[in-house]
Amino acid sequence: MTINVGVLGVSGYTGQSLVQLLTAHPIFKLTRLFSTSYEGDYAQLIPGFSSKAVPLVSSYDVSQCDDLDIIFLAVPHTKSMAIVRELMARYKSLKIVDLSADFRLKNREDYESTYRVVHDAPDVLSEAVYGLPEKYADGLASARLCASPGCYATSMILGMLPLVGRLDSNIPISIDAKSGVSGAGKALKESSLFCEVHDHLSAYATGDHRHMAELVQESGFSNVLFSPHLVPMQRGIESAIYIHGGTLDNVHALYEQYYEAHPFVRVYPSDTQPTTRLVTNTNDCAIIPKKIGDWVVVFSLLDNLIKGASGQAVQSANIMAGLDQTTGLN
Amino acid sequence: MTINVGVLGVSGYTGQSLVQLLTAHPIFKLTRLFSTSYEGDYAQLIPGFSSKAVPLVSSYDVSQCDDLDIIFLAVPHTKSMAIVRELMARYKSLKIVDLSADFRLKNREDYESTYRVVHDAPDVLSEAVYGLPEKYADGLASARLCASPGCYATSMILGMLPLVGRLDSNIPISIDAKSGVSGAGKALKESSLFCEVHDHLSAYATGDHRHMAELVQESGFSNVLFSPHLVPMQRGIESAIYIHGGTLDNVHALYEQYYEAHPFVRVYPSDTQPTTRLVTNTNDCAIIPKKIGDWVVVFSLLDNLIKGASGQAVQSANIMAGLDQTTGLN
Amino acid sequence: MTINVGVLGVSGYTGQSLVQLLTAHPIFKLTRLFSTSYEGDYAQLIPGFSSKAVPLVSSYDVSQCDDLDIIFLAVPHTKSMAIVRELMARYKSLKIVDLSADFRLKNREDYESTYRVVHDAPDVLSEAVYGLPEKYADGLASARLCASPGCYATSMILGMLPLVGRLDSNIPISIDAKSGVSGAGKALKESSLFCEVHDHLSAYATGDHRHMAELVQESGFSNVLFSPHLVPMQRGIESAIYIHGGTLDNVHALYEQYYEAHPFVRVYPSDTQPTTRLVTNTNDCAIIPKKIGDWVVVFSLLDNLIKGASGQAVQSANIMAGLDQTTGLN
Amino acid sequence: MTINVGVLGVSGYTGQSLVQLLTAHPIFKLTRLFSTSYEGDYAQLIPGFSSKAVPLVSSYDVSQCDDLDIIFLAVPHTKSMAIVRELMARYKSLKIVDLSADFRLKNREDYESTYRVVHDAPDVLSEAVYGLPEKYADGLASARLCASPGCYATSMILGMLPLVGRLDSNIPISIDAKSGVSGAGKALKESSLFCEVHDHLSAYATGDHRHMAELVQESGFSNVLFSPHLVPMQRGIESAIYIHGGTLDNVHALYEQYYEAHPFVRVYPSDTQPTTRLVTNTNDCAIIPKKIGDWVVVFSLLDNLIKGASGQAVQSANIMAGLDQTTGLN
């Protein structure tokens, strides 16, 4: 069996990671590489990539998607709305995995206030399934459009899901998150320059990061203080979740049981040292839950480019295609 | 005026930073360099250091301190107790600045349970003044022995002091702290190797780090969850302090007013980006207080080797010597 | 078909890389993990490693190798001599791949003067085949003992082989080589600490590095100035080879032709930017030859842990086992 | 005595380093900060900088330079020609230190072919003095215009000067140079992004780097192969100079004697480990000359932002102002 897939947006870090995963996938065949900024030999873009592995990169044209079964969109936020609308109108059986934020929020107003643009395809919003297979595997199985979650959101939501219904949904939760620099993408910004980032740590957008809307919608908790940081490393996210109070016991057992059947969430013993090394270059989310006095502390770690982006997208696409969700991801 | 000073423990990162500060100090004259592991030309230890700037390093001998007015002890925890006892017995007018933890805790039992050794000089504990000039300047002015605080403790205590009396002393506070690798010192540990640390972030000792005892004694708050992290950078600490509830208003004004007269605490506007670059290579503690909904969030940043160690020790020594506390530190 | 393999020395960086490669190998089955410093669950040593993938680590015992077809020795220089002698005496059909330097030098005196020890198994030296498959594939096919080359040596020799016979063997050649820190291994040395290495570059052992003996024996050139450097990165080696004079034309074509049939040496166009990214996490050696005026300049790059160690060892083992040399390495 | 100085181009890395040095200078008073991209409080640009230390940054206007005794131009290559011409026409006693390449090359054609622009002020070229105080102190003492050298050029020229007249000027010399990323400046280029540079080493522009013209003009040697590299560190340059042949003895003594009277060139013993730590944050050039068999190997190290840019500019300005060249630089 072969399933033809394409990627739009192959030059960014997420697109590049997608191409690597798809090249090694046993069922998906990468037949189209589209870019808005580059045409030609993909190996010229990516040092060490073998030219033979993939077709030439071409400029995106909706008419060239007719041989595709699945397309992955790795374009910036606000750029995929129009593309999705056009693809859905033209190809009824094409499955779409959108890695941007454009279809993640169910509520159009939330999207528009968060991203400060008018939504271009509001009628499609209700059809999109949030691409977190640990929560929406059933929906994904029959979805035409998957809205693949953000990296911060994935790490935080997976870290909180087992607590839903166990703690008051209004309990105050502070989340101190740290991300490697690839999370900022390949865009030319002064704040992404080596000399600006190297050997320094910084906090940013405390309490108003745009991933909050996604978090409130999907986590089940409403009083969350989200505090992201930029760390001088290439990849990896750690979300440290701090909750005081509640009368929850057996926190570790709760998490273990909750994720028992989920191949990409690994619940580690409470005394494991939380480190991004647990997950680098894998599609795993590592979770280390602890009870410390009256505090519940949960460390949730993932590779922002894989479980936080390309790997999770492939995981969802596997489900959409009727494959085992782990296909090509181990 | 010249004040003769010596340093015991010149080969570690803190000792090295002390030597650099003291070499440039306009009043202190660095006349003795002692080490327990090295004798000879200091420039052989420190690439680029000029041999002419300081005397030869010699093995420590209590009898060679008779020409000193002040001695700084940069030796490991548990190693300075006996040295301090002997120095105090022999030299009545010598002032001692101890950078280890040995005299920081007022309560002998706290020390012994935290460091798992018997205290060697318990009778001296009450005489030691905790070397946080922002809190104990008066005590330092007449002290013979200064117990210079730890780097994490300094950043957290300075971040919380203005809240004492304004918030309930039992309010739950979570502190997510991040440190550069020099905080671990020059000891040969696998966890300090380049390949173990580089390009990764890790949490450690969540909730049970030994600096907690110091924090509880000095911060004025008792329900603190301290969560330290190791970040792949050379120096710098950020403590992010998260507090929910309370009815505190005008948080920023409160901090500004509190630290108005303190030259080394800089309260920045709430919209300043918290980054360790604010403090690298300075004796400053940068504080950025924010009110976000019902949350009080305080970022406290310092250079662990300076305001978190050597600089703060010199600041205290200045006060002990009757100098302006900023002498040699700008 | 299944071939049982074991590794002695699984806790170091090379051993770890070997375990990763062998776990994914389609024919080799990793049935023994030996260590001299650790016993138990390998996943405890390596963050994120799955316990199920490999057997428990046990203390090395020569009697427990009877079910092995191949053993890899990833132990320090001077430590494998005795182990090899004992294994060869006891198991006539066992194949051994030694990653230490102990059997690389044909001349016992060279070894003894370079490593300053008496060789323990001099009679075995002649039986060892130097494990550079690009040069000794035939010998490896029938070898019992493979002396796998060092990382610097591999990069330099592969960079010079096509020039043998084309340039005078006495022509002066300067080689400026740069290595990531993993090349120094996991040993606890001050010079491998994060704070000593990070953000700095250093040269060391100019002209007298112990890999010179290997280089002179295998490269075909005798007047080489080898100048290694340590660079603040985890992995990767670049050897820049500078040669003035000679009347060599068509340098690039010469290299392309020479390596045409060698799957792991990729000769890139002369205008390719030489970067360690070309080879990271691969078993490739990337070679970029240039003619610049009267100069021949060759950049040779590899991943010191793979083509410079574990990957090359597996490549040789494939040949020794009658497999295609690329098995498990793509 | 007070000498009024201004800087044009304060937002780049070199400009920032200049501002730091000039703020601490005992005689120079920094009265004008000009920028082409920013106006306002300098502390907003540079995290941690104290607003009180310097005047507001204003847009450059030639008419506002009338109160200046010296102006430093830290603008990109090709941008300072017109500025210099205008300043020289208007202010006869103003001294100018230009940190761009625009007046370094004596020969207009060399400049135009290297930088691919027409020279805007060719008549001024002959008046410019090359700002290498170790070679041109006399000329600088009476110069109106100083063409401050590049960072690579400074490290290489200082590494070769003592050999002039001792070795044939046509002897083949290969120079493998490595630079930290700040050498590329703050311009937004993909190749300066953290994720592109971090954890990798690359060579670039082998044999055709534009600093070659400067090198040939000033070094005294004509057959040089210059091979620059980019290293994942913030600052620092090492030039490794390899020369075969010649009958030079006493290489180390030759260098020591040559630089005896030069305060910013430190000749280290031949067995010193060459590391950028010898020079970080100083105006020193560290030189380690070695004789190894028939080879002369010279390591020359400096901080590209100080001795390779801002510090050297201040050193030259000191001489132009009749001060001791070390003023404000120790």
**pLDDT of the residue at B208:** 81
% pLDDT > 90, chain D: 90
pLDDT(B210) > 80 = no
Please, are residues B196 and A233 in contact by the beta-carbon 8 Å criterion?
no
**What is the C-alpha to C-alpha distance for residues C137 and C317, in angstroms, rounded to an integer?**
11
Considering only CB atoms, D190 lies closest to which of A182, A188, A234, namely A188
* Chain B: closest CA distance from residue C13 (Å): 9
**pLDDT of the residue at D246:** 72
**What is the C-alpha to C-alpha distance for residues A228 and A207, in angstroms, rounded to an integer?**
9
Please, are residues B42 and B23 in contact by the beta-carbon 8 Å criterion?
no
**pLDDT of the residue at A108:** 94
**What is the C-alpha to C-alpha distance for residues B299 and D51, in angstroms, rounded to an integer?**
21
Angle between helices B151-160 and B212-219 (to 10 degrees): 30
CB contact under 8 A, D280 and B48: yes
Pairing status of strand D173-179 against strand D145-147 = unpaired
* Chain C: closest CA distance from residue B77 (Å): 20
So which residues of C are the catalytic ones? 151
B210 burial type by CB count under 10 A (0-12 exposed, 13-18 middle, 19+ buried): middle
Q: Best residue in C20, C235, C267, C278 to probe A by mutation, most A CBs within 10 Å?
A: C278
Contacts of B234 in chain C (CB under 8 A): 194-195, 198-199
Determine the average pLDDT of the residues in B79-93.
96
**pLDDT of the residue at C51:** 74
B202 to chain C: nearest residue by CA? C47
**Does residue A80 sit at the B interface (CB-CB below 8 Å)?**
no
**Exposure string over D99-122, b if 16+ CB within 10 A, otherwise e:** bbbbbbbeeeebbeebbeeebebe
**pLDDT of the residue at A211:** 79
Please, are residues D197 and C233 in contact by the beta-carbon 8 Å criterion?
no
**pLDDT of the residue at A247:** 77
CB contact under 8 A, C47 and A198: no
pLDDT, chain A, mean: 95
Mapped onto helix, strand or coil, the DSSP state of residue D246 is: coil
CB contact under 8 A, A275 and B236: no
B151 is catalytic: yes
Which band of pLDDT confidence, cut at 50, 70 and 90, is reported for residue C213? confident
Q: What is the pLDDT of residues B132-165, one digit of tens each?
A: 999 999 999 999 999 999 999 999 999 999 999 9
Determine the average pLDDT of the residues in B110-116.
92
Q: Mind listing the domains of chain C with CATH numbers?
A: 3-148+308-320 (3.40.50.720), 152-304 (3.30.360.10)
pLDDT(A42) > 80 = yes
Would you tell me which residues 154-213 of chain C have a C-beta closer than 8 angstroms to some C-beta of chain A?
198-199
How far are the Cα atoms of A187, D117, D289 from residue D159, in angstroms, in the given order? 39, 30, 8
Contacts of C23 in chain A (CB under 8 A): none
The number of residues in chain D equals 330
CB contact under 8 A, C282 and A48: yes
Chains with 3+ CB–CB pairs under 8 A to A are: B, C, D
Contacts of C178 in chain D (CB under 8 A): 178, 201, 229, 231
Residues 6+ apart with CB under 8 A from D330: none
Mapped onto helix, strand or coil, the DSSP state of residue B253 is: helix
- Tokens 């993938």 belong to C53
* Alpha helix positions (H), chain C: 13-23, 42-45, 80-90, 108-115, 122-125, 133-141, 151-160, 194-197, 212-219, 251-258, 311-320
**Does residue B279 sit at the D interface (CB-CB below 8 Å)?**
yes
Contacts of B290 in chain A (CB under 8 A): 206-207
Q: What is the pLDDT of residues A97-123, one digit of tens each?
A: 999 999 999 999 999 999 999 999 999
**pLDDT of the residue at C106:** 93
CB contact under 8 A, B181 and C197: no
**Exposure string over D6-24, b if 16+ CB within 10 A, otherwise e:** bbbbbbbbbbbbbbbbbbe
**What is the C-alpha to C-alpha distance for residues D173 and D149, in angstroms, rounded to an integer?**
21
pLDDT, chain C, mean: 95
**What is the C-alpha to C-alpha distance for residues B67 and C178, in angstroms, rounded to an integer?**
49
CB contact under 8 A, C181 and B198: yes
Determine the average pLDDT of the residues in D146-159.
97
DSSP C193: B
Contacts of D13 in chain A (CB under 8 A): 195
CB contact under 8 A, D225 and C244: yes
Contacts of B282 in chain D (CB under 8 A): 48
Please, are residues B77 and B101 in contact by the beta-carbon 8 Å criterion?
yes
Pairing status of strand B57-59 against strand B70-73 = unpaired
Considering only CB atoms, C199 lies closest to which of A199, A280, A282, namely A199
* Chain C: closest CA distance from residue B192 (Å): 6
pLDDT, chain B, mean: 95
Contacts of D297 in chain C (CB under 8 A): 206-207, 225, 227
**pLDDT of the residue at D245:** 83
**pLDDT of the residue at C258:** 98
pLDDT(A249) > 90 = no
Per-position DSSP letters for A191-227, written without gaps between them? GGBHHHHTT--EE-STTT-TTHHHHHHHHS-S-EEEE
**pLDDT of the residue at C95:** 98
% pLDDT > 70, chain D: 100
**pLDDT of the residue at A277:** 96
Please, are residues A239 and A177 in contact by the beta-carbon 8 Å criterion?
yes
CB contact under 8 A, B195 and C232: no
Contacts of D234 in chain C (CB under 8 A): 199
Question: One-letter amino acid identity for C308?
Answer: G
**pLDDT of the residue at B319:** 98
Considering only CB atoms, D47 lies closest to which of B48, B198, B278, namely B278
Contacts of D207 in chain C (CB under 8 A): 290, 292-293, 295, 297
**What is the C-alpha to C-alpha distance for residues D278 and B49, in angstroms, rounded to an integer?**
8
Task: Give the start-end residues of each E strand in chain D.
Answer: 3-8, 28-35, 57-59, 70-73, 95-98, 129-130, 145-147, 173-179, 202-203, 224-230, 237-244, 265-267, 285-292, 295-302
Considering only CB atoms, B48 lies closest to which of D48, D198, D277, namely D277
Which band of pLDDT confidence, cut at 50, 70 and 90, is reported for residue A49? confident
Determine the average pLDDT of the residues in A205-221.
88
**What is the C-alpha to C-alpha distance for residues D271 and D258, in angstroms, rounded to an integer?**
19
So which residues of A are the catalytic ones? 151
**pLDDT of the residue at C245:** 83
**Does residue C277 sit at the A interface (CB-CB below 8 Å)?**
yes
Q: Which of B10-14, B24-28, D207-211 has the lowest mean pLDDT?
A: D207-211
Which band of pLDDT confidence, cut at 50, 70 and 90, is reported for residue C265? very high
Would you tell me which residues 280-309 of chain D have a C-beta closer than 8 angstroms to some C-beta of chain C?
280, 290, 292-295, 297, 299
Per-position DSSP letters for D274-328, written without gaps between them? PBGGGTTTSS-EEEEEEEETTEEEEEEEE-TTIIIIIHHHHHHHHHHTTS-TTTT
CB contacts < 8 A, C to D, total 139
Q: What is the pLDDT of residues C95-122, one digit of tens each?
A: 999 999 999 999 999 999 999 999 999 9
Q: What is the pLDDT of residues C216-244, one digit of tens each?
A: 899 989 999 999 999 999 999 999 999 99
CB contact under 8 A, B280 and D48: yes
Nearest to A205 by CA among A172, A183, A235: A183
Q: Which of A206-215, C25-34, C127-136, D316-325 has the lowest mean pLDDT?
A: A206-215
D232 to chain A: nearest residue by CA? A194
**What is the C-alpha to C-alpha distance for residues B308 and B314, in angstroms, rounded to an integer?**
11
Q: What is the pLDDT of residues D294-303, one digit of tens each?
A: 999 999 999 9
pLDDT, chain D, mean: 95
C193 to chain B: nearest residue by CA? B193
**pLDDT of the residue at C210:** 76
Per-position DSSP letters for C119-159, written without gaps between them? -S-HHHHTT-EE--HHHHHHHHHT-SEEEPPPHHHHHHHHH
CB contact under 8 A, A277 and C47: yes
